[in-house]
Structure 1
Amino acid sequence: MAEIAVLLVVRKIGLAVAAETLKYARPLLAKKPEYIEALPNEMRLIRNELELVHAFLKGTGRRGWKGEVIETWRRQVRRLAYDMEDMVDQFIYMVGKQNQKGSWWDHVKKNIMKPNSLFSLDEIAKEVKRINQELKQLSESRDRWAKPLDYGTDIPVAIYETEQEMYRQSLIESLYFQERSLRIIAVWGMGGIGKSTLVTNVYKNEACSFDCRAWVSISQSYKLEDIWRKMLRDLLGKDKKEFDPETMNSIELREGLTKILDKKRYMIILDDVWTAEVLFKIREVLIDNSLGSRVIITTRIEEEASIAEDGCKIKVEPLNDQDAWILFCRKAFPKVRNHICPPELIQCGIDIMEKCDGLPLALVAVGSLLSLKTKSVKEWKLFNNQIIWELHNNENLNHVEKVLNLSYKYLPDYLKNCFLYCAMFPEDDLIHRKRLIRLWIAEGFIEQKGACSLEDIAEGYLGELVQRSMLQVVERNSFGRIRCLQMHDLVRELAIFLSKNESFCTIYDDTKQVVHVGSHPRRVSVLCCSDIGSNMDPSRLRTFIAFNTSTALSSWYSFIFSESKYLAVLGLSGLPIETVPNSVGELFNLRFLSLNETDVRELPRSITKLHNLQTLSLQCTQFLNFSRGFSKLKKLRYLAAWRLEDATHSIFNCCEAMEPFKGLWNLKELHTLEGFKASAVFVAKLGNLSQLRTLKICDIRSGHCAQLCDSLSKMHQLSRLLIRAVRDDELLQLDNLKRIWKCQIVQLEQFI
């Protein structure tokens, strides 16, 4: 959605006009024409206007307002937001360069040419003024043309016949548990998984065992008074002699509910709960009358399900392949005896079923639609190839899209970019937590909160996406932390569709089709593509990641370094690359550079100009050593570099570590340091890196141990230490580490 682009630039403007930034900007702006001196104020005005625009966009998105005028207006806003983001990045870069006066910059600035692609301060000021004027015009045009209609968000509940006996039995047992006190039962899982259908069946069959009952669907924009009124109306049923819910105010509704619930055994369903806040408010009227009353909530969010006791939380999982196939065939072949799929359609049917990935809602809708189509391989293959288009455009499937999109619509703004970013990874790919978090940080998606590190905040965001069933955990480490994740296939396809609408990214994939997104994509993900040189305009590119090692190198490789002046993320792992162009030093905005598993032997000296670089990964390369000046990269948070000498890992020293470069120990923002050799100086200085969380160090000698233990004692954030002796028979005395870390959990390993 356009609001996430707006929110990102609002945050960046906040950094640009912060007191600390402007302190260094004043000399740059002094004695300049008036319109240049007014640059910070112009940016503040834009930020103020964009904050209002963001609030408006957020409101239209939540209410489901659509229409060509609204969509055109959103596109125009997004374009201006991207323009402004570019200008802010350049302004901050120029201020940062100004801040280097009095140091080495004074001696070398005459010999360093400003990249031709960068704007001058004069051009930035003019461009910001232009953006401000266009933004005002956009706001005025909104009032003239943007008169959206509220289309509502009612979504039909799918009814399917396959009984999920395990869930049903668990739910029924929770209803009739011998405990007579009030019990809250939570049924949770991703959208379309069948929560409401499950509860509906149990409600219809078991409600007669209770004195009174109520079913209330909770919208995101709920009004507590409306919820209580609906609840009271259901509880009264046809008996409305005592109360008239339609005429009662909030206090009367609350009193009426407590009076009824005090003397009766009740069952109340709260369907599709999005926040704990509404649960706590409703809970105020839920009297525990020790009559065995039950409240069932359905939710997509694990955190909201935690209001129930552990024994009363039921997570509904996707159907297994066998049950999914049975449900699909029952809907696709309703008139065929035993619902048997014709042999010639089996493979097509399996391909379509797998895209539904066990979601009953999708299986029922897709199967039912196919029951109306010709039973031919050609027809079914055509449908399979355009299933996502069908979801968006076929009214018989539109409710599936709505159900899945609700989860995205109600994500907090700070999670929306993070969620869409996951769609850039290949289908069924294992997304590793650490890599994803580093990419999010490089993109600027993670906002500093108090004293917490960006990594900890990002990990919290990841947990929220898992709790909301937007990502699925595949593996956890020995500490119970997420190691890798996956996206549900349909959720990923819909995320790609949303990315296309928002010009968030372009995904190239020859195995399916090329997804084109506008003329100026912000991010490019290459999954499998023979050549993208003629299809891509790199001028506004922020991210380029190649996932497939067979991607052909063509003209794009050179011009991405020379033309992509705003590039923040560059992932080239696995590509047949031997050299990195000297023009890499002109990528002033670069924060993430990955060259793992390439044939790169050296990096150009210009790379030391990348003062914003946070991640540099050179694992399993032919890289030999670091040139002088790497200690200038003060913002590095992740640095990994080693050569793989033996791919079979059959010898002790199968990995060749790097010699530490001078000043490495002064990179005090480092969180991860991997693949460096120990030396007396390096081991002694290692204690300066007090923010380290992961350390892999090689060639440890027995003489290093005492100093190493002393340096490690200063690393209070360290959670993982991997060490390798210089030889397999070298005796390392590291007993002091147990004493040092007796109050700290640290994973200590020997690695080869």
Structure 2
Amino acid sequence: MDGSIFSSAHGAVDSVVGRLTSLLVSEAQLLSGVRSEVQFISDEMESMNGFILHVAEAEYPNHQVRAWMKQIRDLACDSQDCVDQYAQCLGEGPQGKGTVWGTIRRLPWLLRTMPARHRLATRIQELKVRVAEVGDRRHRYDVTVPKGTRKPSLPVPAALPVGGGAGDDLRRRSLLDGEPPDTLQKGTELLLEWLNEKVGEQRLKVVAIFGLSGMGKTTLAHNLHAHDQVDHLFKYKAFASVQELDSLAEVLRSILKQMHSPNFNHELLQKKIELSDEKALVTMLRKHLTAIDRFLIVLDDVWSYEAWRGIKSALPKDDDCCAGSAVVLTTPHVPVLNSCLPYRTLNFFNFDSIFKFYFDRAVTLVGKHKSYLKPSLQDIIRRCYPNKVMIRMFLGILYANPSRTDVELGGLLARLDQRFSENNASQILMLCYNELPRHHQNCLLFLSIFPRGYKEIKRTSLVRRWVAEGLIARNDAAPDERDQQVSAMEVAERCFDMLVARGFVSAVTTGASGKVKSCKVEGLVYDFITRIAGDVHFVDAGVPPFLARHLSVRNRIGLQAPAGSNRSFDSILTVLEFLRTSSGLQMLRVLDLEGCKGLEKRHLKNICRIALLKYLSLRNTDVTQLPKKIKRLSCLETLDIRQTNVRELSKEAIRLPMLKHLLAGNLTCTVTTTTTTNKNNSKTDECKNNSSNKTFESFLTVNVPSGVRRMKSLEILSQVRVSNSGSDLKEIAQLMQLRKLGVVLNAKKHSLTDLINQIENLPHLHSLSIRTEGHNGDESRRVGIAETLLSPPRCLGNVITNGLPSSIQNLQKLAKITLWRTKLGKQDLHFLGNLTSLLCLRLRHKSYTESKLIFTEGEFKSLKLLVIEGSDIDCISFSKGAAPNLEKLVWTLDSSMESVSVPGIKDLPKLKELALNGDCNSTDAVQNAIREHRRSPAFRHNGQIVPQEAD
């Protein structure tokens, strides 16, 4: 854990040294007499940084060293804050120093900012004194590297494994994914068998799933709850995660809300449940369960006997409920297991197939020819078994560096207990953590701001916050990438992928292409990183845990109520009120308000006072308008207003010189039977639905203001509506850093043509999303993007549009196409099939007019992913030689069908999975086709694996 202290201190000092250097270069920004102080601080920090790197090599640094390192980190953070404030205060001054007229122009500004400049200059002088004191303290207390405690020299693993090429790395990476064969499937089948058993007079069964954290109990519980057979066995069902909910009352509320009839007065019930206390909820649930038909309650993570006893008090007596009702609980604790007196117990320790599955993968990762490593690999996995999280992390160690020696593995083995224990988990985790690069360690510790058991952390939001917090930067790129103009966001994306590969985070949602879209932190890993984060004071101690994920990790706003005050910081809204009077207001770099309701104008005005703010998320809030004072946020890099009712960006909003990511748009789905136009000029269109009801989507967008060309740093401009004249498109064309563009156009050809003509001048654009309005499907065929896109940007590889002309076959660089309401015919499909670079094809609602979709020999040679959503297709046919590289087919029905078929899939040599979603009475034809495939691809129906029996 000592390494984390050094990593944290080194990162903070490294950052401030770079910032000080930048400030020294701009001599015009420094008041007279301040330059020497800044130079002194910079020199001292560089010396301290060298000492930190020297100390980091010590295996057992003493307490004096650790205490001094923490002082250095705090000092570096204070210096960073002060320097950023100084630069921000002076960054808006008139230029022209060196000329008489320039001096005259600067004079009013100099006079106006003099008080703030002197306050900051005084702070810099105070920091100089603190730096000198910390340096003297090291000599005064003889803070040195302990002699004879050098860490053994170990090979440094690469950020990504080297050798074998990209294909070999993908193959090795795949060994880190997946579940042991049949483990979850057999567990689910066994539970269903037990739940269906009729046992004498017993009316309420209690079934326990027992095993340690990370073994897959939660996944099994979710699979059981979502299984189709459960819906046939039980009329009512509920799922509650006991560990994630704050109290017994919250658990009971969650169960009650799920245990009502569809015909019940939902609003009245909700209100009654929310207003009831724990005692009333116990009575209410017991009475309700006594009155209803057969029910199933699944309780995940019952961590204590007290929690089970409280829940049990709300259950009806055995003879008071409908026969066959059941409670299934997961627990890692023997006392809970003994106290619940289970009818049956599923013990994860009995699944020996897990061990063989992971051992075979470990051997493959190091190389099957290295038979001398097998005994060490076997012993290590046995001592991690049956905890799958730790086994996967060990596989991550082998993935990152397959050249492990028997001496290294033996050293790890010597530190492990004979059977799995907390010590074994700690040893594996610490080894994985110490091998991460410094910036990866800091990004991992950042995850401690989320509550334990947090269900889903969005990838894009996370990596943007890492960059805004200064945890990762361009110079953190791998040595072989530093000359390739890699951005901080790209470095952050690689960091996320590495944390997934090393097992620190687990995928929650994965895109159709296999990219992890969101993640979670398993319990053992979370406990480990929060322990380290607390040791190094990674997050300000004054911030309550439930507020930490909304604020910067180093905010210094001091959330302490004044003496005699009744104020309590029980919500983020209270914090926003407090910001107006906080002395640390300027220290905030990040403010994530996603999902917060009740935001008012006064809250937004307080936010506009945070001069150094870099990341602001108002996503899914009730904000309808951005204040004019938002222009004060001159350091803002990310503004997220998705899923809000903000429809206009004021002229003040474009005065954000540092803004890189402007994220807008609101997509909602509602059940309806008609297509309507609302007052916001948005159209409602059909979207995906797995039931027989028709579901429509409403897509609302933000209008682009004139003057957007001034936002020169913009890299992502997402889901904005352009004018019919297309004048603002010309301004968008001046955003030369733009990488992703999402626009909504009126279906007038001159506007669409103007867009295509302009994007030719955007050298970095690689993702383009186009959505048109004001036409029917037939018209869209005549106004497609390819009519004018004859020389697309060289980076462009992703086009989303709802208009497809024949000339699209000329765009040989396209890698991904999403089509919406295009009403394609057979000839159109041939055009698409001739795109040699096409990897992913998504045909959305009403994209194809016929009921049979035919893929012809020699076409779609590179296609790996095919997604069919919401069309009236009942047959997808493949000729021999068509789509030879297709790996995954996802088919989602938007209405009930009697049957569907996929003839010819036996001729898809690389097919790994076929997923069918929606209401289909018979899947026999699909399953028969899969049985004929020599690779036996997986078949999922509505998310569930369907076992295939041999003929």
- Pairwise same-fold verdict (TM > 0.5): yes
Name the aligned partner's letter for residue 39 of structure 1. E
Superposed counterparts of 1:566-581, under 5 Å: 566-576=587-597, 577-579=599-601, 580-581=603-604
- 1:663 corresponds in structure 2 to 707
C-alpha spacing 1:409/1:380, structure 2 compared with 1 (3 Å) = farther
Superposed counterparts of 1:94-243, under 5 Å: 94-98=89-93, 120-141=119-140, 143-144=142-143, 147=146, 150=149, 221-222=153-154
Deviation string for 1:248-267 (max 9, x for gaps)? xxxxxxxxxxxxxxxxxxxx
- 2:465 corresponds in structure 1 to 439
Deviation string for 1:103-132 (max 9, x for gaps)? 9x979969988999x982332222221221
Q: CA deviation at 1:631?
A: 2.2
C-alpha spacing 1:557/1:422, structure 2 compared with 1 (3 Å) = same
Matched residue pairs, number?
A: 540
- Determine if contact 1:325/1:353 at 8 Å carries over to the other structure: no
> How many angstroms apart in 2 are the aligned matches of 1:54 and 1:40?
21
- 1:492 corresponds in structure 2 to 526
TM-score, length-scaled by structure 2: 0.50
Q: SS state of the match for residue 518, structure 1?
A: coil
- 2:627 corresponds in structure 1 to 604
Name the aligned partner's letter for residue 671 of structure 1. E
Alignment partner of 2:456 out of 425, 430, 433: 430
Alignment partner of 1:26 out of 20, 28, 40: 28
C-alpha spacing 1:423/1:614, structure 2 compared with 1 (3 Å) = same
- Determine if contact 1:640/1:673 at 8 Å carries over to the other structure: yes
Alignment partner of 2:662 out of 629, 635, 639: 639
Name the aligned partner's letter for residue 620 of structure 1. Q
- 1:711 corresponds in structure 2 to 758
- Determine if contact 1:504/1:523 at 8 Å carries over to the other structure: no
> How many angstroms apart in 1 are the aligned matches of 2:548 and 2:790?
47
C-alpha spacing 1:520/1:429, structure 2 compared with 1 (3 Å) = closer
Alignment partner of 1:699 out of 722, 745, 758: 745
> How many angstroms apart in 1 are the aligned matches of 2:738 and 2:442?
28
Name the aligned partner's letter for residue 81 of structure 1. A
Alignment partner of 1:315 out of 175, 184, 189: 175
Q: SS state of the match for residue 517, structure 2?
A: strand
- 1:733 corresponds in structure 2 to 784
Q: SS state of the match for residue 664, structure 2?
A: strand
C-alpha spacing 1:485/1:397, structure 2 compared with 1 (3 Å) = closer
Name the aligned partner's letter for residue 748 of structure 1. I
Identity over the aligned pairs, expressed in percent? 20
Cα RMSD of the aligned pairs, angstroms, is 4.7
Q: SS state of the match for residue 608, structure 2?
A: helix
Q: SS state of the match for residue 436, structure 2?
A: coil
> How many angstroms apart in 2 are the aligned matches of 1:87 and 1:667?
27
Q: CA deviation at 1:614?
A: 0.4
Q: CA deviation at 1:633?
A: 0.6
Name the aligned partner's letter for residue 603 of structure 1. L
- 2:73 corresponds in structure 1 to 78
Q: CA deviation at 1:353?
A: 6.2
Greater Cα offset, 303-312 or 704-713: 303-312
Name the aligned partner's letter for residue 315 of structure 1. L
- Determine if contact 2:717/2:741 at 8 Å carries over to the other structure: yes
Q: SS state of the match for residue 518, structure 2?
A: strand
- 1:56 corresponds in structure 2 to 54
Q: CA deviation at 1:97?
A: 3.4
Superposed counterparts of 1:531-610, under 5 Å: 539=557, 552=571, 554-560=573-579, 562-563=581-582, 564-576=585-597, 577-579=599-601, 580-610=603-633
Q: CA deviation at 1:617?
A: 0.8
Q: SS state of the match for residue 640, structure 2?
A: strand
- Determine if contact 1:302/1:468 at 8 Å carries over to the other structure: no
- 2:722 corresponds in structure 1 to 678
Q: CA deviation at 1:688?
A: 0.9
- 2:768 corresponds in structure 1 to 721
- Determine if contact 1:665/1:686 at 8 Å carries over to the other structure: yes
- Determine if contact 2:214/2:522 at 8 Å carries over to the other structure: no
- Determine if contact 1:16/1:92 at 8 Å carries over to the other structure: no
Alignment partner of 1:628 out of 635, 639, 651: 651
Q: SS state of the match for residue 620, structure 2?
A: coil
- 1:401 corresponds in structure 2 to 426
Q: CA deviation at 1:518?
A: 3.1
Q: CA deviation at 1:615?
A: 0.3
Deviation string for 1:149-173 (max 9, x for gaps)? 8598xxxxxxxxxxxxxxxxxxxxx
- Determine if contact 2:719/2:743 at 8 Å carries over to the other structure: yes
Matched, 1:458 2:480: no
- 1:748 corresponds in structure 2 to 800
Q: CA deviation at 1:474?
A: 4.8
C-alpha spacing 1:380/1:71, structure 2 compared with 1 (3 Å) = farther
- 2:335 corresponds in structure 1 to 376
Q: CA deviation at 1:568?
A: 0.5
- 2:538 corresponds in structure 1 to 504
> How many angstroms apart in 1 are the aligned matches of 2:142 and 2:108?
53
Matched, 1:12 2:35: no
Q: CA deviation at 1:401?
A: 0.8
C-alpha spacing 1:503/1:128, structure 2 compared with 1 (3 Å) = same
- Determine if contact 1:645/1:655 at 8 Å carries over to the other structure: yes
Q: SS state of the match for residue 673, structure 1?
A: strand
Q: CA deviation at 1:313?
A: 8.8
- 2:161 corresponds in structure 1 to 303
Superposed counterparts of 1:273-422, under 5 Å: 275=157, 303=161, 315=175, 347=208, 349-350=210-211, 352=213, 376-377=335-336, 397-422=422-447
C-alpha spacing 1:120/1:701, structure 2 compared with 1 (3 Å) = farther
Q: CA deviation at 1:52?
A: 1.9
> How many angstroms apart in 2 are the aligned matches of 1:346 and 1:150?
53
Matched, 1:688 2:734: yes
Structure 1 unaligned blocks of 5 or more: 153-218, 223-272, 277-300, 328-342, 359-365, 367-372, 382-386, 506-516, 542-549
Deviation string for 1:608-652 (max 9, x for gaps)? 011110000111212242233222211111102335676559753
> How many angstroms apart in 2 are the aligned matches of 1:306 and 1:274?
19
> How many angstroms apart in 2 are the aligned matches of 1:712 and 1:274?
43
Structure with the bigger RCO (C-alpha within 8 Å, sep 6+) is 1
Deviation string for 1:408-428 (max 9, x for gaps)? 112111211112223334535
Q: SS state of the match for residue 651, structure 2?
A: coil
Structure 2 unaligned blocks of 5 or more: 97-101, 188-203, 220-302, 304-331, 341-386, 388-415, 475-481, 560-568, 677-682, 685-697, 803-819, 822-951
> How many angstroms apart in 1 are the aligned matches of 2:633 and 2:774?
37
> How many angstroms apart in 2 are the aligned matches of 1:631 and 1:663?
7
Q: CA deviation at 1:569?
A: 0.6
Name the aligned partner's letter for residue 461 of structure 2. R
> How many angstroms apart in 2 are the aligned matches of 1:318 and 1:54?
40
- 2:38 corresponds in structure 1 to 40
Q: CA deviation at 1:570?
A: 0.4
Deviation string for 1:380-406 (max 9, x for gaps)? 99xxxxx9xxx99x9963232122111
Deviation string for 1:36-77 (max 9, x for gaps)? 2412212222321231242134223xx2x2554444333323
TM-score, length-scaled by structure 1: 0.61
Name the aligned partner's letter for residue 446 of structure 1. I
C-alpha spacing 1:119/1:356, structure 2 compared with 1 (3 Å) = farther
Q: SS state of the match for residue 570, structure 1?
A: strand
- 1:471 corresponds in structure 2 to 505
- Determine if contact 2:619/2:644 at 8 Å carries over to the other structure: yes
